[in-house]
Amino acid sequence: MTAYNAPTRDMHFVMNDLGLLPAIQKLPGCEDTNTELVDAVLEEASKLAGSVVAPINTTGDLEGAALENGVVRTAEGFSDAYQQFVDGGWNSIPFDPDFGGQGLPWLVGIAAEEMWISANTAWSLCPMLTMGAVDLLSEHGTPDQKATYLDKLISGEWTGTMNLTEPQAGSDVGALRTRAEPEGNHYRIKGQKIFITWGEHDMTDNIVHMVLARTPDAPTGSKGISLFIVPKFLVNEDGSLGQRNDLRCVSLEHKLGIKASPTCVMSYGDDGGAIGYLVGEENRGLNCMFTMMNNARINVGLSGLSIAERAYQQAVAYARDRVQGSGPDGEPLTIIRHPDVRRMLLTMKSSIEAMRALVYDTATILDQSRREQDPTAQKAAQGRLDLLTPVVKAWCTDLGVEIASMGVQVHGGIGYMEETGAVQHLRDSRIAPIYEGTNGIQAQDLVARKVLRDGGAAAKDYIDEVRMLCQALADAGGDTAASLNTHLSAAADALTETTDWLLEDGSADVSRAFAAATPYLKLFGTVAGGAMMARSTLAAQAALDGNTGDPDFYTAKLMSARFYADNILPQAAGLIAPIRDGYHAVLGAAEDSF
C-alpha cells in the first residue's frame, strides 16, 4: 500500500477559493479563523495522519481486534496513535471552549477528519463516534451530565458509542426490546445490542455508551424509546472512576472490512442491570439520538470521500509506475498513458473534487445553522442542511465504493491481491452505505421529509441557485464554463422534472415515490456535485485570469471540471425514466416471481 499524503492544497482551494472560509469568518466566534490558522492546523494534522495513523492501516487490517477474557485488544500501534491524537488536542477542534474545546468551526474539524479517515478508516471510527456523543450531550444533556462527561469526551480521554441496533431490530428501531427500569435517580438497563462500533477497547479508561431502551410503561413503537448514558465505569462525584458497570462485550463480529475496528455485541444487565442516566425526556430518545445520527451521517458521507481519496492516490501511483505496452516508436508505456486508464483516473479525481466541495460546503452550512444570530438566516441554513445531509451521506458513500472498486480495476489483476492494499480500500468502503441508516433509507428521507413535506420548496430553492451558477458560467466564458453550463443546465432540468413528478404522482402514492427515491437521490447528488464543480470552475478561471497562484494547479481544476461536465453530468438525464417510470415493475412484480 502506498503512503498517504493529505491533499492540503485541494483542501485550501475548497475553503478559500470557493469562499467557504470567508463565509465562516462572518459568524460569531469565528472572526479569528483565518487562512494562516487553518493552514497551520491542516499541516500539523497531515503530519499525524501520514506518519502515525496511516502506517498502521494495513497492519491493523491483518491483525484485527481480538476479544480476550472480556477485554478487546486493539491492533498494534492503535493505542499509541490514539494517545498522540489526544495529546495533540485533535478531538476537540469544533467543540465548546467551556468544556475544553477549541471552538473552531466544523469546517475545520471536517477537513482534519478527512485525513484521519483516509489514513486509517478503522481507527478513525472511534473518534468519529466520540464526536457524535459530544454533539448529543452538548445539545440534550443536563448541566450535571455535561459537567461529568463533556470535558473527558471532548479531550478524547474517554470515548463514546451509539447503541441502537438489536438482533430483532435493525433499521426498525421501534422494535427494540432493551429495558430501562427506574431506580432512584437512575435506571437499570437490561438487554443486548449488536453492531456497536468501538463498543469495547483498550485505548481509553472509560467508554460512554449512548443507549436506546424502553421504560416499563412506554408506548409501543418508536414513540416509546428513551435515551440513556451508560458508562463502562461509573463516575464518582469528584470525577474519578468508580465501579465497573454491569455491561460487557460478549463477542466481536467477523466482517468484510474495517477489521481493526471492534464491532461488538454488547450485553447490558447480566448481573442485575447496568446503571444508566436518562438524557432528555422519557419516550423522546429518538429525537435526542437524531442529533448524534445526523452528525454521524455527515461524517459517514465524509468517509466516502476520504477512502476514495486514498484509493485514488494509490491508483495514480501505480499507473505512473506500471509499464504495459509500447508506443509508436517502441518506447515502453506506463499505463497512465492508456486512454481508458486516464478515463478511470479522471472519473476518480473529478468525483473526489466534487464530493470534497459538497461535504465542505455542507460543513459550512452546519456552522451557519449553529452560529447565525439572525433567525431568518439560521432557519434557511438549517433547511439547506436538512436537505443536503441525506445527499452527502448516500451519494458520497456510494461513490466511495465505486471509486475504491475502480482503484482495484486500475491495478488490474494484481489489484485483486491483498498484498497491494487496493482491495482493502474496497472492503473498508463497503460498510459506509449501510451505516447510520442505509442509503435506501437516506433516499426515502430525502423524498418524503425533505421534498414532499414542504411541497418541494427547499429543493426548488436549491435548483434556483444551480441555475444562477449556470448563468455565471455563461457570463464567464471559456470552454470548461461553456460545457458545464450546457450539461449542468440539462441536469438541473432533469432534477426539476423529477421533483415536479414526485410532488404530483409521488405525493398521490407514496409507494411510487419510495420506488423512485434512490435514483432521485443519485440525480440530486450528481447535480449537487456539478454545482460545486461550477463554483470550482469560476474560482479557477478567475485565478488564471488574474494571474494569481499556480497556473498548473488551476488548469488542472478546469480539466477536472470539464471531465465532470462531459462525462458525469450527462448521466443525469438517464435517471428521469427510472424515477418517473421505474415503479411499474418495482411495485407490480409478484412476490413469488423473485
Tell me how far apart the alpha carbons of residues 72 and 120 are, in angstroms, rounded to a whole number.
19
Distance CA 110, CA 82 (A): 18
Provide the phi-psi class of 234: left if phi over 0, else alpha when psi is between -120 and 50, else beta. beta
Pairing of strands 274-279, 186-197: antiparallel
578 close to 523: Cβ distance less than 8 angstroms: no
Q: Which amino acid is present at 279?
A: V
Amino acid letter, 332: P
Would you say how long the chain is, in residues?
Answer: 594
Angle CA(258)–CA(298)–CA(403) in degrees, nearest 5?
Answer: 55
CB 257 within 8 A of CB 431: yes
C-alpha cell at 141: 444533556
In DSSP terms, which residues pair with 252 in a beta bridge? 264
What number of CA atoms fall less than 13 Å from residue 564's CA on the CB side?
33
Question: Catalytic positions, please?
Answer: 436
Taking the chain, what is the end-to-end CA distance rounded to the nearest angstrom? 41
CA dihedral 298, 300, 302, 303 (to 10 degrees): 180
Q: For residues 66 and 261, what is the distance between their CA atoms, to the nearest angstrom?
A: 10
Paired residues of 326 in beta bridges: 332
Strands in 203-310 per DSSP E: 207-213, 226-231, 233-235, 241-244, 247-252, 263-268, 274-279
By C-alpha distance, which of 423, 297, 313 is closest to 362?
297
549: which DSSP letter?
Answer: S
Q: How many CA atoms lie within 13 A of 463 on its CB side?
A: 20
Question: What gap in Å lies between CA 579 and CA 332, rounded to an integer?
Answer: 47
How many Å apart are CA 264 and CA 253, to the nearest integer? 6
Whole-number Å distance between alpha carbons of 364 and 110: 10
Q: What is the DSSP letter of 259?
A: T
One-letter amino acid for residue 271 of the chain: D
261, 196 contact by CB (below 8 A): no
